[in-house]
Amino acid sequence: MSAANASGNVIRKYLPVYFVLLVIFFVEVFLSFQHFATGTLVVILLLLALCSASLGLMYFMHLADEKRNLLLTLIPVTIFVLLMMNMFWSDSVRLLHMRPGAQ
């Protein structure tokens, strides 16, 4: 009986998340066929993708059950990695145009 109850709890926990992800997908498909400005559509789709990615991370990768300290550790590391990537992107664009020095 214990395994049946545990299985029911898992389905009750993950099934709504699955349906929310399906709804987000259908909203994205619907919005892509509407006549929005390109910038507006990109921003809306990126926000929806961020929502679906956070749901996937929190529930399907089990980060919702982790301690708060793990999340407080991951946020600064992620910000640091993004800032370091920003430092290298400017060099890659400069090297793409073959200008070795910033003149």
Q: Would you place residue 65 in the very low, low, confident or very high pLDDT band (cuts 50, 70, 90)?
A: confident
- What is the average pLDDT value for the chain, to the nearest integer? 82
Contacts of 63 (CB under 8 A, 6+ apart): 57, 70, 71
Domain boundaries, the chain: 1-65, 66-103
Biggest alpha carbon distance in the chain? 73
- Indicate yes or no: pTM above 0.75: no
What are the pLDDT digits (tens) for 4-63? 555 667 788 888 999 999 999 999 999 999 999 999 999 999 999 999 998 988 888 887
The one-letter amino acid at 84: M
What are the pLDDT digits (tens) for 69-87? 877 888 899 899 988 887 7
List C-alpha distances in Å: 9 to 3, 19, 72, 78, 83.
Answer: 10, 16, 28, 32, 40
Contacts of 27 (CB under 8 A, 6+ apart): 48
